[in-house]
Amino acid sequence: MIKFLTRHPEKIYIPLLEHIQLVFLTLVISVAIASILTLLCMRSERLSIWLQQLLAVVYSIPSLALFAILIPVTGLGRTTAVIALTAYNQYLLLRNFTTGLQEVDSAVTDAAKGIGMTWLQVLTRVQIPLAKRALFAGIRLAVVSTIGIGTIAASINAGGLGTLLFDGLRTMNMPRILWGSILSAGLAIVTNALLKAVEDHL
């Protein structure tokens, strides 16, 4: 294992960096879209119920199947992976964002509105600061889930730690399999712990 690392360091750190890149890109896009959807859901109860159900269905599609469906539309590669991962994240993010904001004491939001805040001021000055932990918890869940599902993205040529795993399995190369497993599990565990620590300080 160590020999593999010293001999082919690029075969380990490149997939790792690719993986982090994939997760980061997905995260930024996911949070942006989920924020917009959350705002829309706050305005319309019906849209909220409908969208949550739709996203729950999307979330239940096995990842390999979702990647496969997208290939005819967006082809092989990272774009497809990001789209699929973003779709999965919407369920986690939207649920956590909407419940987090709803759990803010209605006496406080009523008072905020009643003393003359616009809905945007209520959101940015009252609801988001009070719900920040719940919002951040949603992001943490989404990141960890993306790191996990992201390994499958190697099956559609999107790179990442999955390539190590898939290559290793195909050639029964033990060091590759081990490095792939340890790094993807380790990345998820470490990221989760780090984000949890940040969350606890909020």
Partner 1 sequence: MNPYSEKKSTGAVPAIEYRNVCKRFERTEGKQGRGLHVHVRKDGPSNPGSSKQEDGFFAVNDLSAAVRDGELITILGSSGCGKTTLLKMTNRLYEPDGGSILLFGEDIQKQDPVQLRRKMGYVIQQAGLFPHMTVEDNISVIPRLLKWEPARCHDRVTELLNLVGLEPDQYRNRYPSQLSGGQQQRVGLARALATKPRVMLLDEPFGAVDAITRLNLQNELLRIHRETGGTFLFVTHDIHEAFRLGNRVMIMNAGRLLQIDTPETIVRNPADPFVETLIRSALEQERFWSSTPAE
| Rounded Cα–Cα distance for residues 42 and 52 (Å) | 12
* List of residues 6+ apart from 29 with CB closer than 8 A: 82, 86
CA atoms within 13 A on the CB side of 128: 10
Q: How far is the CB of 112 from partner 1 (least distance, A)?
A: 7
- Tokens linked to 6: 């010293």
Q: What are 92's two structure tokens?
A: 């986690």
Structure tokens at 191: 């990221």
Q: Using the rule CB under 8 A, which residue among 56, 65, 110, 194 binds partner 1?
A: 110
Write phi, then psi, for 157 (nearest 5 degrees): 65, 35
Closest to partner 1 by CB, 122 vs 149, is 122
Task: Figure out which of the listed residues 16, 126, 139, 158 binds partner 1, where binding follows CB under 8 A.
Answer: 126
Contact between 201 and partner 1 per CB under 8 A: no
Q: Which stretch binds partner 1 (CB under 8 A): 54-62, 77-85, 87-95, 120-128?
A: 120-128
Tokens encoding 144 = 């960890």
Contact between 144 and partner 1 by CB under 8 A: the answer reads no
State in angstroms the smallest separation of the CB of 166 from partner 1.
47
- Part of the chain binding partner 1 (CB under 8 A), chosen from 28-36, 113-121, 134-142, 177-185: 113-121
With tokens 């999965």, the residue in question is 88
200 binds partner 1 (CB under 8 A): no
End-to-end CA distance of the chain: 40
How many chain residues interact with partner 1 (CB under 8 A)? 17
Q: How many CB atoms lie within 10 A of CB 57?
A: 10
If binding is defined by CB under 8 A, does position 129 make contact with partner 1? yes
Strands (E), 54-199: none
> Is there binding between residue 202 and partner 1 (CB under 8 A)?
no
Give the residue, chosen from 2, 7, 114, 172, that forms a contact with partner 1 under the rule CB under 8 A: 114
Contacts to partner 1 by CB under 8 A: 105, 107-108, 110-118, 121, 125-126, 129-130
